[in-house]
A and B are shown apart, each in its own frame.
Chain A
Amino acid sequence: DAMVIQNPRYQVTQFGKPVTLSCSQTLNHNVMYWYQQKSSQAPKLLFHYYDKDFNNEADTPDNFQSRRPNTSFCFLDIRSPGLGDAAMYLCATSSDGTSGGLTSTDTQYFGPGTRLTVL
């Protein structure tokens, strides 16, 4: 089945130790998103890729970076995790048909998430 896959499902890291979270998709969607979700709160968009174009939200800390080497994969790098970065990280994808802007109506499909613990 076509889907959005996130690895690992649970990640434990130490304060200040870089960590990378992985997302892959078999939907062939051109847009990929990374959200941060803290306990029982709304998902907060960190950034997204429209094809290869990277779009950072204004309030996303510099500590968070992302890479998208190809259509199927997207990575979230946290360069120096702090205790406040402990959260669920959600990857999502969508198929947006308008060049240069997100004007399609297509639904975002989410992966199962990676729960990050910082010790």
Chain B
Amino acid sequence: AQSVAQPEDQVNVAEGNPLTVKCTYSVSGNPYLFWYVQYPNRGLQFLLKYITGDNLVKGSYGFEAEFNKSQTSFHLKKPSALVSDSALYFCAVRDMNSGYSTLTFGKGTMLLVSP
């Protein structure tokens, strides 16, 4: 079975400071990993994904994520946070070796960026 853990319900950061939103995963095979962002009363917007290759993945709006196989982590990062980054962030995983699997989401982390 595949699973995702987002250990923080909420992350608070001041505008201009770097931010990290944590994600760890568990799959039996190799993972496909995704980050989505959700603004209030909106659907999920795709930010970035890791399939294979370079462990540092760059995505939309200046976000990036680092895949760490030994720590089974895929933390989302941004060098300088903006107030407009405040939203709910979901990490998701898919097991590429399962032959048939859908996306499993973490419970989400609320990011609050203060001015």
Contact = CB atoms under 8 A, between A and B. Distances in A.
Nearest to B107: A42
Contacts of B46: 107-110
Contacts of B106: 42
Q: Interface extent on B, as a size class?
A: 20 to 34
The binding surface of chain A is classed by DSSP as loop
Interface in B33-51: 34, 36, 41-46, 49, 51
A40 B108 contact: yes
Contacts of B42: 112-113
Interface residues of A, number: 24
A70 interface: no
A90 interface: yes
A103 B41 contact: no
A69 interface: no
Given A103-B100, A107-B49, A113 B105 contact: no
B110 to A, nearest CB: 7
B100 A108 contact: no
Contact of A115 (B36, B41, B88, B102): B41
Given A43-B44, A112-B42, A113-B43, A107 B34 contact: yes
Contacts of A109: 46
Interface in B79-114: 88, 90, 94, 96, 99-103, 105-108, 110
A111 B42 CA distance: 8
Given A101-B100, A103-B96, A105-B51, A110 B108 contact: no
Given A42-B90, A48-B102, A110 B51 contact: no
A101 B99 CA distance: 6
A88 B46 CA distance: 18
A22 to B, nearest CB: 14
Interface of B: 32, 34, 36, 41-46, 49, 51, 88, 90, 94, 96, 99-103, 105-108, 110
Interface of A: 4, 6, 33, 40-43, 45, 48, 88, 90, 92, 101-103, 105, 107-113, 115
Closest 3 CB pairs of A and B: A110-B43, A42-B105, A101-B100
